[in-house]
Amino acid sequence: MPMKAVVLAPGKEKSALRKHPWLFSGAIQKVMGSPESGDSVEVYANNGTFLGIAAYSPESQIRCRFWTFKEKAEINREFFSDVLDKAIESRRSRGFDINDTKSAFRLVNAENDGIPGCIIDKYADIYCAEILATGADKFRNDIFELLAEKTHCRGILERSDSDVRLKEGLPIRKEVAYGDVPKTPVEMIENGIKFDVDVWNGHKTGYYLDQRDARFEVGRYGKGKRVLNCFSYTGGFGLFALQNGASSVTEIDVSTDALNIARSLIQKNGFDSGKVILKEADVFTYLRSCRDSRETFDLIVLDPPKFIESKAHLNKGARGYKDINLLALKLLAPNGILATFSCSGLMEMDLFQKIVADAAVDANREVQIIKRFGQPADHPVKTTFPEGQYLKGLLLEAR
């Protein structure tokens, strides 16, 4: 065996043989060669069978994240060059072009694109990267240099400022990794609508690219509708409803800054601001006030933040999803449309659908599913990594 390796406990090789990218601490029997955080190690089954190369993370419960399976490749600059080339080509084949300086999409979707713990999003000519795991962090300079070379972008911002990094023993980092990244919002265009993305301070890497398809599809139902967009952030769903002729749009969010951006985007896109109410409020509280005043809407969007951070929070999170869907269903006018989402990875679609169905029964509404939503084509999910399918949604009609 090599100088740096891990040997699994008996029977713990099954997930690796199925090419699942994670190994948890309890699966490991022995560590050889004193690997440091982020080092590449060879992984062996208890019987000595070589399983692959992984990044080692001594402080995380996810102790190893695989780079390769059954292949003794060198994890170096050339390795990452090849991974980025494949990501660029796969996006191009799906209609996402790195040379389009106004578009926005995800170029690297972490484990699903071969760089565990690394997300790279494109906003116009700026790339925003989030690194959450030790292996990718060790090669961050190579990744950023290669990204700049291959995309000829204006700048790269590293937004590695999530608390998840602390579980890996990594420091919080937010800095320009290459070129020029403006402090002012970056303008990009999504399906004909202009958006300003605050890459420095916005949620995640600045925006929720994973809802692109849903925003466009839900917006198509907006014509002539009274629309309520809950957890609106900078108003994406509401803007597409306005694009399709909504009679009114109410945007609800707790963030003053997000609502200010939403206000500016209404003006930038030439929509009638007289049709829009921007309300800074807690969504649960606001929905209860609408229920008590018997206010109704024709189209309601529920796109809440993650309610479930761990398995210990599953039951509480499920109650939260039921409560909010119950409130929304009570506010829908006859034949109203509800677009409801969960971005909690631990909330599986079957369970989410059951929760919404239970809420419909309690609301005394007959509900039909019109469409199911998932992640768009720039957010691929490996079949061997079901955890990568975090986003799910339902488009419903309530009678």
**Catalytic residue ranges:** 343
Strand order in the sheet with 276-280: 276-280, 248-253, 226-230, 297-302, 332-342, 392-398, 367-373
For residue 185, what is the DSSP state?
A: P
- Tokens at residue 331, please? 């506010």
Rounded to an integer, what distance in angstroms lies between the CA atom of residue 49 and that of residue 45? 5
Q: Going by C-beta distance under 8 Å and a sequence separation of 6 or more, which residues neighbour residue 99?
A: none
For residue 35, what is the DSSP state?
A: P
Strand order in the sheet with 5-8: 22-24, 62-69, 50-56, 40-44, 5-8, 28-32
Task: For residue 197, give the nearest of 117, 103, 108 by alpha carbon.
Answer: 103
Is the separation of the CB atoms in 79 and 99 below 8 Å? no
